[in-house]
Amino acid sequence: MSSAWLLPEHIADVLPSQARRIEELRRDLLDGARAYGFELVMPPLLEHLDSLLSGTGSALDLKTFKLVDQLSGRTLGVRADTTPQVARIDAHLLNRQGVTRLCYCGPVLHTRPEGLHGTREPLQFGAEIYGHAGLEADLEVQEIALDALQRAGVKKLTLDLGDARIVRGALADVTLDAATRDAVYAALAAKDQPALDALTTGFPAESRAAVLALLRLYGGDDVLAAARRELPARPLIKAALDDLQWLTQHLRAAYPDVRIGFDLADLSGYAYYSGARFAIFAAGSSDTLVRGGRYDEVGAIFGRNRPAVGFSTDLKQLVVLASVHPLRPAIRAPWGEDAALRQAIRQLREQGESVVCVLPGHEHEGQEFDCDRELVASNGQWLVRAL
């Protein structure tokens, strides 16, 4: 039996009902971003590999599909994340001096899925602010992310806050090679105390105690107070905890129904985060719906090191939890060669109506529209009447 119709693993077609819901969600989120003053950009799906993976984007190497350009002979990459591309646009193409707000929505491709049932072709929506180093930008990005989920109808949200500077501050007086550092980060992310005990054996006592304390510093409001007691009073750590406190106060005032928690050892996601970072979950699901934070170094490789903060989400994952919009109302019309009928259909479509012509022999077939009216002939005219 032929298998020509089979798709690669973790790659799937999106059928009409799901495609309609994803497109409605895409438009809704882009409209929400526009309401905040964000401008839409559309980076290419392919770029030279050294551009996609340079600098802080190198963590994406294992996720990126590579191929050879038949025109130049250079190696190209299919983007696995859009943020490095948007940083390039901000640094080189727009090159503005003040604040720039950019949003995007398009497919990315991963060599491996995030989970057992994940897709390798997420539809990534994101929003990013360049040019402002203050917490005001961090707060705005977290607000638009929460607004996006609420616009989608996702209920009972949990916002987890952390900061990349806390782990770096804890390791400030420790000299580590790249492999050991990555192993420490992985053990922290996995809350693997035996591994962390072994990895930190030769650390200075204060730093070892701080790293091990991070394993316990996750949960509710008491986490920040506990961190101030248990972690060394180093500038990076103090600044991070102060920033998390400020963000929490403002978010609680604006979103009283959103649960806010903390995980000070959270290092998941891409390595380019440099400050406050966050993840958003929905009740009853362990999957991360949104991930974002500050990444001030992301544009350095493009020659313009500008403050940057943003987030991204996968609409294919999000639509599963989103509220279902009703089918779009439509008018059912017969197919015919009568000039008056065809003119009536054309006028209705110009007025913004959806008119579904029933082709001969297909009168009882359904579709992705709610045909609540029909076009009928009456006294020599074509009129719309309710069904």
Q: Give pLDDT tens digits along the chain (387 positions).
A: 557 789 999 999 999 889 999 999 999 999 999 999 999 999 999 999 988 887 665 668 889 999 999 999 999 999 999 998 999 999 888 988 899 999 999 999 999 998 778 899 999 999 999 999 999 999 999 999 999 999 899 989 999 999 999 999 999 999 888 888 888 988 998 899 999 999 999 899 999 999 999 999 999 989 999 999 999 999 999 999 999 999 999 999 999 999 999 999 887 766 778 999 999 999 877 789 999 999 998 877 787 789 999 999 999 999 998 888 788 899 999 999 999 999 999 999 999 999 999 988 786 666 778 889 999 999 989 999 998
The confidence score (pLDDT) of residue 101 equals: 98
Q: Which residue has the tokens 């929003």?
A: 127
Instruction: Determine contact, residues 151/131, Cβ cutoff 8 Å.
Output: no
The confidence score (pLDDT) of residue 364 equals: 66
Return the exposure string of 115-130: e unless at least 16 CB atoms fall within 10 Å of the residue's CB, then b: eeeebbbbbbbbbbbb
Phi, psi of 176 (to 5 degrees): -130, 140
Instruction: Determine contact, residues 214/226, Cβ cutoff 8 Å.
Output: no
C-alpha separations of 186 from 103, 232, 254 in Å: 31, 22, 34
Token reading at 257: 């129904």
Q: Which of 160, 182, 181 has the alpha carbon at shortest distance from 172? A: 181
Instruction: Determine contact, residues 64/87, Cβ cutoff 8 Å.
Output: no
List the 355-358 sheet strands across, edge first. Answer: 355-358, 329-334, 370-378, 381-386
Which amino acid appears at position 6 of this protein? L
Instruction: Determine contact, residues 75/48, Cβ cutoff 8 Å.
Output: yes
Name the pairing type of β-strands 329-334 and 370-378. Answer: parallel
Instruction: Determine contact, residues 301/90, Cβ cutoff 8 Å.
Output: no
User: Alpha-carbon distance 95 to 276, whole Å?
Assistant: 25
The confidence score (pLDDT) of residue 181 equals: 86
CA 300, 302, 308, 313 torsion-angle sign: negative
The confidence score (pLDDT) of residue 57 equals: 56
User: Alpha-carbon distance 261 to 270, whole Å?
Assistant: 21
The confidence score (pLDDT) of residue 285 equals: 76
* CA angle (10 as vertex; 9, 15 as ends), nearest 5: 110
